[in-house]
Amino acid sequence: MRSIGVKQRESLSVIAACFGERPERAWLAELQAHDAALSLTFVDDRVALIRRARSLQPRVVLLPLRDAYGLSSAPLIARLRENVPAVRVVVLLAPGTPYVGFAEAIRGGGEIVILARESDLRSVLYRTNKVEVLSAREHEATRSLLRGLQPTALREVLVFCVMNAHRRLTVGEVAMWRGLSTRAFGRQAKAAHWPLPSELIGWGGLLRASLMEWTESSRLPVLARASGFASTRTLQRIAERLLQKPIACSSDLAPLLVSSRLIRRVQRVERATAH
């Protein structure tokens, strides 16, 4: 009889900061108690966080959108991206959490994750452990490429789609991040003369792939996987539809090409729906 081995999870080091008595802290403590592969450190002192992160060099730093005192995590996110650029900064949103400050958190370089239950947190942590971190340079490049895009709300949606493309976003997840139902988000996009929400997700994936090509010169299969596309062919099909040109190799995905075609597409939708 063939013996069956048990595959152990890769060790994951995490700092959970500034959660106080928020519900996410109880979820994390429960995970810590039952998962030997999880190395979890709680840090409640905002002043000490950067020093601890530089000392421990965790894979992930988890933050709430606002701490127990109502203070925004956006300044901490920006400092973490500056002082510990290799760390992945994930902002957890538990059910019922107000969305005040999410735009500032994204601009600072945080990744928003919306949780419905404790099991979602486990999935987020181990999925996070396998995905490449967007560098501070790529964060800044994203903001620069989209700077000319109006209105601001649309720009923030696209930044969110770029930063979270690896998660294979759904329209429902983007709508929830906006604090809306899927149907309400669709109505809002139509009223504002935006491209369809599903198209915005596609643009976010293409922008992320183009930024990774710019910084790493990766092959198309690598770009597809890291940007949330189901396969290389899916990336090529969506790119050809949105960019109106065939994509034979990764160098065809230049960031300026993708961003200029995106801005042109938004302008066309605005003109078409305004008449």
- Average of pLDDT values for 5-32? 76
Q: What local confidence, expressed as pLDDT, does residue 158 receive?
A: 92
> Are β-strands 111-114 and 88-93 bridged in parallel, bridged antiparallel, or unpaired?
parallel
> What is the second-level CATH architecture of the domain 12-128?
3-Layer(aba) Sandwich (3.40)
pLDDT exceeds cutoff 60 at 96: yes
Tokens representing 4?
């069956």
Mean pLDDT of 101-121: 75
Q: May I ask the CATH architecture of the domain 136-274? A: Orthogonal Bundle (1.10)
Residue 99 contacts residue 66 (beta carbons within 8 Å): no
* pLDDT at residue 3, rounded to an integer: 39
Place 86 in a pLDDT band, splitting at 50, 70 and 90: confident
Domain ranges of the chain: 12-128, 136-274
Over residues 225-264, the pLDDT tens digits come to 888 898 999 999 999 999 998 898 888 888 999 999 999 9
Q: How far is the C-alpha of 58 from the C-alpha of 41, rounded, in Å?
A: 9
> Angle 152-163/197-216 helices, nearest 10 degrees?
60
Please determine, for residue 81, whether its predicted confidence score (pLDDT) is greater than 90.
Answer: no
200 pLDDT more than 90: yes
Query: How many C-alpha atoms does 10 have within 13 Å on its Cβ side?
Result: 9
What single letter denotes the amino acid at residue 19? F
| Peptide bond connecting 255 to the previous residue in cis, omega within 30 degrees of 0 | no
Average pLDDT value over all residues in the chain = 83
Burial of 211 (0-12, 13-18, 19+ CB in 10 A): buried
- pLDDT over threshold 90, residue 99: no
> What CA–CA distance (Å, rounded) separates 137 from 146?
14
